[in-house]
């Protein structure tokens, strides 16, 4: 086959093809991102007012808990049992019938209390990261964008130079390449410049990492609210202390799938798993921490505003991993007190502190297990052991 | 539950019987057709072993690719049956159930890493190219070489059977983190362990052989710093393999013992299985992750270093220009290998490991970006003011360089610990690894296939088909993997059968469908390569020219294809560095290593 060399006439063609690829890629992603929630049966929600329940047919796809954007209006739905009590986790099999309840609805632009668990790029948040509500999250996002700028500039410089070379240096008959084996100064420059940038980046983030993962607030401070997380295949169990502020007492309030915390507090989360590794992921709080069986791993975040936010399991934990979701419910201070009192009373009145109600299968035993098999809080990053 | 009953070793016997049958079959072939046996089966010839690795890897790539398409199918049309999977794997749901989804991504990664990329780079091209490039008659230990190929077969059989054994296949991810990998019922996970164990032995046999061959069997004049970068990269890779693989072997053995013999290396205390607290325990869950990543991080470099070496060779040839900064290229290979052993913890930033350690690993990880950057700049400088020939290996090397830049830059986000919190275990990671392993490594492998094909089979591959394959693959690749960066950083988790369970991920269904359509096109494009590869083997244009690409390295000084055991019909001798292109004083634009200096009194002596 004859040698096809890129001549000056074929160069524009190559350039146009490359540009077309980039434009096509951008356009494809834009189109794809612009259709929010097509997987949902949106029309079923269009007319459902708050408090109404409805049942979806087989094969319908809907989250355990979440917000759905229906014609620019946010609808918060919650999966409920046939009797109407909320179910927030556990395996949601694809072909079962499920009953849902509309909890709340409001315009997308307004500050509804629960708009965080959004569905598309139309939702608040940056292009890359979902909206942030944690105080250290801003730093993380700034670091992300700093790295994006640095790598973006490096990308444009290197790929630009690359494309320039690709379009410029095709063989011409009778010509030889520039005979050069290397260049000491150049090698030094392109070793030292990235080295300085990388060391600076490394030093910059060291403090951030320390405040996020090593300086976990201690429970005895008044602005700290402690919760316990017991992960199991395939649900999140949560426990908060009752009015006495102590764990392992009869007024503790356990919950499944929904973690209730007050606003304006540092939330100290102590996590344990009863079976395999899970991973506690709060995308809106920049929190992700593996829950490791045999260890009690603490992590923390702070709450600045009320709302409902998704909790995800980010580490493969078995066949039900994909359905191991939950919701973080951040209450206004007064609302939280009401909620805690209500739950606490329900708990103690039904049980006299003796047996615990069967909330959901094995979870009735899980706090018994937690108290029986006490392992101290792990990490040397902790200031004390408890 | 499994652990309590685990005292009887009840792994299904079928794969063992198949292996036994294979041995008997080989013995029979040896009796009936001894020449066929010693040429095509138990051959000590490095060229034949290289081809064996090449063909079996390409066949396994079909399996790995099909599994990847199954994964993509589920993400685009969740809960629907993947066409053909019901018949292929005997799953009544056709891959729609989460447990089968877990098997699909687990086995996709395991097959692609252990059976495709590592054997392709080290087994196929390392074997075929290295002895020729350094001017050796064969590898140092031909028996060990054949053994390293045939040890892959038990692994092939175990992994293949893991889909079909009672219970379920291996579905704990290719990382197989315990305790999940220990609580997996069914023998699939056990067979997975056995498979990995045999792959490890195969790698070790190969590594010992490469190191000895390269250190002891170089031709006269072939000093270490006259060695082409492909051989350098295989030497460095083999040192990595030799140091890291025994750790994986030990870890897998411990996992096997936990699963089958009731030990508890990785079983934590007070674990609850099926509502019952377990009596066994006291092991450390995170220990596995340390051992696994101590192998698997170097393995990531095993997956890419030989590709870097091959691209350096092909790029110099394609650009008709010496590789810019040959010595910095070698030093950066060594630096990557050394640093590769102290960065494994960056896979474990969120694992519950002491966060102070995370900081140490973060700094080491930032540092390993440095030699990679140096290599990139040197490739760019090689292209600058060159005279590029329009060949398929040119395009593939250029694709390698540009995709390597994207994959390398996205790695910096993961190295930054606070940012990693958000993108760990998401599709951003999936995008990153595929830009490295597909965008870089596989493109270099495509290039290497076209480049060394004439030397291997004495025929050239069809060029229009090759261009078609390259262009479709390159474009479909971008659409398949680039959007993953965005959906990943917005929170789309990897390894979830149905991410749209989460309200905040539902808007990502259309973009996932886009990626899946692109992936299907990407998969279809590989059929073009397969057809071209096997068709050209029998019907391609015959090539008898010794040096069709006008290259400078030693492998082009042999007959095409090299005849018999012994490779060279001349006594190989290296007279200069490996990349003497475009010397303005030379008669031609390339001066091969094997060309005696002008005015040399001694003519090149012939072997016969």
Residues 14-43 of A with CB under 8 A from B: 21, 25, 28-29, 31-40
Contact between B401 and A169 using a beta-carbon 8 Å cutoff: no
Nearest in space to A65 (alpha carbons), one of A326, A356, A263, A324? A326
Round the CA-based radius of gyration of chain A to a whole number and report it.
27
Q: Which pLDDT tens digit goes with each residue over B513-540?
A: 999 999 999 999 999 999 999 999 999 9
Per-residue pLDDT band for A378 (boundaries 50, 70, 90) equals low
CB contact under 8 A, A177 and B582: yes
List the single best residue of B377, B504, B519 to mutate versus A (max A Cβ within 10 A).
Answer: B504
Distance, in angstroms, between A245 CA and closest chain B CA? 26
Q: Is residue B490 part of a domain?
A: no
Nearest-5° Cα angle at A59, A55 to A62? 60
Q: Which two tokens stand for residue B254?
A: 């411990």
Shortest alpha-carbon distance between residue B147 and chain A (Å): 36
In this structure, of A50-59, A371-380, B357-366, the range with the lowest mean pLDDT score is: A50-59
In chain B, positions 514-533, which contact chain A (CB-CB < 8 Å)?
A: 514
Tell me the Ramachandran region of residue A319: left when phi exceeds 0, alpha when psi lies from -120 to 50, beta otherwise: alpha
Residues A71, B567: Cα–Cα separation, whole Å: 72
Residue of A nearest to B377 (CA): A190
Residue of A8 and B556 predicted with greater confidence? B556
Chain segment B206-238, per-residue pLDDT in tens? 999 999 999 999 999 999 999 999 999 999 999
| pLDDT confidence of residue A102 | 61
Most B CBs within 10 A among A31, A33, A95, hence the mutation to make, goes to A33
Question: Domain-by-domain residue ranges, chain A?
Answer: 45-107, 125-166+188-215, 224-372
pLDDT at residue B472 tops 50: yes
* Average pLDDT of chain A, as a whole number: 73
Give pLDDT tens digits for B167-211: 778 889 999 998 898 887 778 899 999 999 999 999 999 999 999
Tell which residue, B184, B88, B104, B67, has the closest CA to residue B497. B104
Q: Which of residues 234-293 of A touch B (CB under 8 A)?
A: 274-277, 279, 281, 283, 286-293
Cβ-Cβ contacts under 8 Å, A213 against chain B = 355, 358, 417
Q: How far is CA B380 from CA A232, A277, B89, B389, B579, in A?
A: 51, 44, 46, 16, 16
Could you give the C-alpha distances from A206 to A112, A138, A139, B340, B360, in angstroms and in order?
36, 16, 12, 21, 9
Interface of A with B in 189-228 (CB under 8 A): 190-191, 194-195, 198-199, 201-202, 205-206, 208-210, 212-214
Q: Which residues of A touch B402 (CB under 8 A)?
A: 159, 162
The whole-number pLDDT of residue B553 equals 93
What number is the average pLDDT over the span B474-496?
92
What is the structure's pLDDT at A385?
Answer: 39
pLDDT range class, residue B371, cuts 50, 70, 90: very high
Q: How far is C-alpha B147 from the geometric centre of its chain's CA atoms?
A: 19
Q: What is the pLDDT of residue A59?
A: 37
In B, which residues are within 8 Å of A18 by CB distance? none
CB B198 within 8 A of CB B151: yes
Question: What is the rounded average pLDDT of the residues B478-495?
Answer: 91
Confidence of residue A88 (pLDDT cuts 50, 70, 90): very low
**H helices present in B384-504, as ranges:** 392-415, 417-423, 427-434, 443-457, 463-489
Partner-chain residue, chosen from B355, B506, B511, that has the shortest CB–CB distance to A379: B355
Read off the pLDDT of each residue in B377-388 and give the average, rounded to a whole number.
93
Q: Is A364 exposed, middle or buried (0-12, 13-18, 19+ CB in 10 A)?
A: middle
What Cα–Cα distance (Å) separates residue B226 from each residue in B133, B134, B207, B392, B558? 11, 9, 21, 26, 18
State residue A233's pLDDT score.
Answer: 84
Q: What is the pLDDT of residues B88-129, one digit of tens each?
A: 888 888 888 888 999 999 999 999 999 999 999 999 999 999
Cα B597 from Cα B577, distance rounded (Å): 12
B448 and B471 Cβ atoms separated by less than 8 Å: no
Whether residue A183 and residue B321 make contact (CB cut-off 8 A), yes or no, is no
- Residue B120 placed within a domain: yes
Place of tokens 């002891």: B216
| % of chain B surpassing 90 pLDDT | 70
Q: Measure CB to CB from residue A292 to each of B102, B285, B358 and give the nearest one.
A: B285
Q: Does the pLDDT value for residue A122 go beyond 60?
A: no
Nearest chain A CA: its distance from B259 CA (Å) = 14
Verify whether the Cβ–Cβ distance A310 to B504 is below 8 Å: yes
* B320–A315 CB contact, under 8 Å: no
Band of the pLDDT at A90, cuts 50, 70, 90? very low
* Rounded Cα distance, A13 and B270, in Å: 67
Element holding B35 (H helix, E strand):
helix B34-36
Task: Please name the member of A68, A143, A316 whose beta carbon is closest to the beta carbon of B172.
Answer: A316
Inform me whether the C-beta atom of residue B1 falls under 8 Å from chain A C-beta atoms. no
Q: How far apart are CA A268 and CA A265, in angstroms?
A: 9
Percent of chain A clearing pLDDT 70 (strictly above): 63
| A314 closest CB neighbour out of B358, B489, B493 | B493
B51 has a pLDDT exceeding 50: yes
Nearest chain B residue to A365 by CA distance is B275
**B 471-510 near A (Cβ less than 8 A):** 475, 478-479, 482-483, 486, 489-491, 493, 495-510
Q: Do B479 and A290 touch (CB under 8 A)?
A: no
Asked if A147 lies within 8 A of B419 by C-beta distance, the reply is: yes
Confidence (pLDDT) at A37: 35
Structure confidence by residue, pLDDT tens digits, A56-74: 543 343 443 444 444 445 5
Nearest CA in chain A to B349: A289
Least reliable range by pLDDT among A334-348, A364-378, B355-369, B389-403: A364-378
Q: Determine which of A22, A133, A178 to mutate to test the interface with B (most B C-beta atoms within 10 Å).
A: A178
Cβ-nearest to A172 among B271, B387, B417: B387
Structural domain includes residue B440:
no
Distance from CA of A110 to the nearest CA of B (A): 18
Mean pLDDT comparison of A340-349, B186-195, B248-257, highest-scoring range = B248-257
The rounded distance, in Å, linking the Cα atoms of B553 and A58 is 65
Q: How far is A144 from chain B (nearest CA, A)?
A: 6
Cβ within 8 Å, pair B351-A292: yes
Q: Tell me if B578 is assigned to some domain.
A: no
Identify the CATH homologous superfamily for domain A224-372: Cupredoxins -  blue copper proteins (2.60.40.420)
Cα A294 to chain center, whole Å? 24
* Domains of chain B: total: 1
Residue B188 forms part of a structural domain: yes
Confidence of residue A171 (pLDDT cuts 50, 70, 90): confident
Residue of B nearest to A183 (CA): B325
Largest CA distance in chain B: 86
Q: Which residues of A touch B96 (CB under 8 A)?
A: 94
| pLDDT at A124 exceeding the cut of 70 | no
Q: What's the mean pLDDT when you consider all of chain B?
A: 90
Secondary structure in 3-state letters for A92-159: CCCCCCEEEEEEEEEECCCCCCCCCCCCCCCCCECCCCECCCCHHHHHHHHHHHHHHHHHHHHHHHHH
Calculate what percentage of chain A has a pLDDT beyond 90: 22
Question: What's the pLDDT at B473?
Answer: 95
The pLDDT confidence band at residue A97, using thresholds 50, 70 and 90, is: very low
* pLDDT range class, residue B4, cuts 50, 70, 90: very low
With respect to residue B20, please indicate whether it lies within any of the assigned structural domains.
no
Least confident range from A89-98, A221-230, B70-79: namely A89-98
**A41 has pLDDT over 90:** no
CA dihedral for B81, B87, B90, B92, sign (positive or negative): positive
The closest CB to that of B507, out of A36, A315, A380, belongs to A36
The nearest alpha carbon in chain B to A193 belongs to B370
CA dihedral B246, B250, B251, B254 (to 10 degrees): 170
* Chain center to CA of B377: 24
Chain B interface mutation, best of A293, A295, A298, highest count of B Cβ atoms under 10 Å: A293
Cβ distance of B503 and A68 shorter than 8 Å: yes
Lowest mean pLDDT among A24-38, B192-206, B332-346: A24-38
- Average pLDDT, stretch B571-587? 89
pLDDT of residue B91: 86
Of B354, B498, B504, Cβ closest to residue A118? B504
Nearest CA in chain A to B509: A39
Max avg pLDDT among A18-27, A355-364, B282-291: B282-291
Concatenating the DSSP letter of every residue in B462-497 gives: -HHHHHHHHHHHHHHHHHHHHHHHHHHHTTPBTT-S
**A316 interfaces chain B, CB cutoff of 8 Å:** yes
Per-residue model confidence as pLDDT tens digits over A292-342: 988 888 899 999 888 888 899 999 998 889 888 888 999 988 989 988 888
Tokens for B489?
């950083």
Quick check: A380 and B356 CB within 8 A? yes
Residue B326 distance to chain A (closest CA, Å)? 7
Provide the pLDDT for residue A91: 30
Q: Do B425 and A139 touch (CB under 8 A)?
A: no
Q: Does the beta-carbon distance from A373 to B322 stay under 8 Å?
A: no
Inter-chain residue contact B419 with A144, CB threshold 8 Å: yes
**Cβ neighbours of B335 in A, within 8 Å:** none
Neighbours of B535 (CB within 10 A): 14
Residue A119: the pLDDT is: 32
The whole-number pLDDT of residue A25 equals 78
State residue A100's pLDDT score.
56
């Amino acid at each position: 086959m004859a040698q096809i060399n890129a001549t000056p006439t074929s160069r524009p063609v190559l350039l146009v093809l490359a540009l077309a690829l980039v434009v096509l890629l951008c356009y494809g992603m834009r189109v794809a991102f612009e259709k929010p929630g097509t997987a949902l049966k949106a029309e079923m929600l269009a007319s459902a007012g708050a408090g109404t329940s409805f049942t979806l047919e087989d094969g319908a796809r809907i989250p355990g808990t979440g917000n759905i954007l229906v014609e620019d209006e946010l609808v918060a739905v919650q999966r409920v049992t046939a009797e109407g009590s909320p179910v927030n986790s556990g395996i949601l099999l694809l072909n079962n019938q499920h009953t849902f309840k509309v909890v709340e609805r409001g315009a997308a632009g307004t500050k509804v209390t629960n708009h965080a668990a959004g569905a598309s790029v139309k939702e608040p948040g940056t292009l890359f990261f979902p909206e942030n509500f944690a105080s250290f999250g801003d730093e993380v996002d700034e670091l992300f964008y700093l790295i994006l700028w640095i790598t973006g500039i490096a990308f444009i410089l290197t790929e630009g130079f690359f494309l320039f070379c690709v379009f410029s240096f095709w063989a011409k008959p009778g010509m030889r390449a520039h005979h050069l084996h290397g260049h000491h100064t150049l090698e030094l420059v392109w070793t030292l410049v990235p080295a300085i940038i990388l060391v600076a980046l490394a030093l910059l983030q060291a403090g951030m990492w320390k405040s996020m993962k090593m300086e976990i607030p201690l429970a005895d401070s008044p602005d700290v609210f402690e919760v316990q997380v017991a992960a199991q295949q395939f649900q999140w169990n949560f426990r908060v202390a009752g009015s006495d502020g102590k764990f392992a007492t009869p007024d503790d309030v356990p919950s499944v799938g929904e973690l209730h915390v007050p606003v304006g507090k540092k939330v100290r989360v102590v996590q344990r798993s009863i079976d395999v590794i899970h991973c506690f992921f709060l995308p809106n709080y920049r929190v992700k921490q593996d829950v490791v069986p045999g260890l009690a791993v603490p992590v923390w975040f702070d709450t600045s505003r009320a709302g409902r936010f998704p909790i995800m399991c980010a580490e493969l934990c078995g066949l039900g991993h994909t359905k191991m979701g939950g919701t973080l419910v951040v209450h206004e201070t007064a609302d939280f007190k009401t909620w805690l009192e209500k739950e606490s009373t329900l708990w103690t009145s039904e049980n006299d502190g003796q047996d615990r109600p069967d909330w959901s299968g094995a979870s009735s035993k899980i706090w018994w297990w937690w108290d029986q098999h006490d392992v101290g809080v792990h990490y040397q990053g902790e200031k004390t052991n408890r | 539950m499994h652990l309590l009953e685990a005292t009887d070793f009840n792994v299904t016997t079928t794969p063992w019987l198949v292996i036994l049958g294979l041995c008997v079959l080989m013995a029979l072939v040896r009796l009936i057709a001894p020449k066929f046996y010693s040429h095509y089966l138990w051959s000590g010839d490095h060229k034949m072993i290289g081809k064996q690795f090449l063909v079996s890897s390409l066949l396994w790539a079909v399996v790995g690719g099909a599994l990847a398409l199954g994964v993509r199918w589920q993400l685009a049309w969740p809960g629907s049956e993947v066409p053909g999977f019901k018949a292929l794997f005997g799953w009544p749901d056709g891959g729609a159930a989460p447990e089968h989804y877990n098997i699909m991504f687990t086995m996709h990664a395991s097959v692609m890493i252990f059976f495709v990329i590592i054997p392709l780079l080290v087994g196929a091209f390392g074997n075929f190219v290295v002895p020729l490039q350094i001017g050796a008659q064969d590898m140092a230990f031909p028996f060990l070489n054949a053994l390293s190929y045939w040890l892959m077969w038990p692994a092939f059989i175990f992994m293949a059977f893991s889909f079909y054994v009672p219970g379920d296949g291996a579905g704990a991810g290719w990382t197989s983190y315990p305790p999940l990998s220990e609580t997996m019922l069914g023998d699939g996970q056990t067979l997975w362990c056995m498979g990995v164990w045999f792959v490890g032995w195969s790698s070790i046999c190969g590594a010992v052989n490469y190191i000895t061959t390269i250190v002891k069997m170089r031709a006269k004049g072939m000093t270490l710093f006259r060695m082409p970068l492909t051989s350098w990269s295989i030497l460095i890779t083999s040192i990595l393999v030799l140091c890291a693989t025994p750790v994986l072997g030990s870890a897998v053995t411990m996992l096997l013992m936990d699963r089958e013999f009731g030990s508890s290396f990785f079983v934590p205390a007070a674990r609850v299985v099926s509502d019952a607290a377990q009596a066994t325990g006291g092991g450390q869950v995170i220990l596995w992750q340390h051992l696994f990543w101590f192998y698997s991080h170097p393995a990531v470099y095993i997956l890419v270093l030989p590709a870097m070496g091959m691209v350096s060779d092909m790029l110099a040839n394609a650009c008709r220009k010496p590789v810019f900064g040959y010595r910095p290229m070698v030093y950066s290979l060594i630096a990557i290998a050394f640093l590769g052993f102290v960065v494994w913890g960056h896979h474990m930033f969120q694992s519950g490991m002491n966060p102070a350690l995370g900081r140490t690993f973060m700094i080491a990880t930032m540092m390993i970006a440095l030699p990679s950057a140096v290599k990139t700049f040197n490739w760019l400088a090689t292209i600058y003011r060159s005279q590029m020939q329009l060949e398929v290996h040119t395009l593939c090397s250029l694709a390698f360089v540009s995709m390597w830049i994207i994959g390398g830059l996205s790695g910096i986000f993961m190295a930054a610990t606070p940012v990693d919190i958000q993108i760990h275990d998401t599709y951003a990671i999936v995008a990153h690894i595929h830009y490295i392993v597909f965008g870089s490594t596989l493109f270099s492998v495509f290039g290497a296939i076209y480049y060394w094909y004439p030397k291997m089979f004495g025929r050239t591959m069809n060029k229009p088909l090759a261009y078609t394959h390259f262009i479709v693959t390159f474009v479909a690749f971008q659409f398949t993997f680039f959007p993953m960066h965005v959906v990943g950083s917005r929170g789309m988790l990897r390894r979830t059968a149905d991410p749209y369970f989460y309200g905040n991920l539902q808007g990502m269904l259309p973009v996932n469908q886009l990626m899946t359509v692109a992936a299907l096109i990407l998969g279809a494009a590989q059929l073009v390569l397969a057809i071209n590869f096997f068709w050209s083997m029998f019907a391609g244009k015959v090539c008898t020219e010794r040096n069709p690409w006008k290259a400078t390295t030693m492998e082009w000084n042999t007959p095409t294809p090299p005849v018999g055991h012994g490779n060279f019909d001349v006594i190989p001798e290296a007279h200069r560095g490996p990349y003497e292109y475009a010397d303005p004083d030379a008669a031609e634009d390339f001066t091969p290593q094997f060309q005696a200096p002008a005015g040399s009194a001694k003519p090149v002596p012939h072997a016969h």
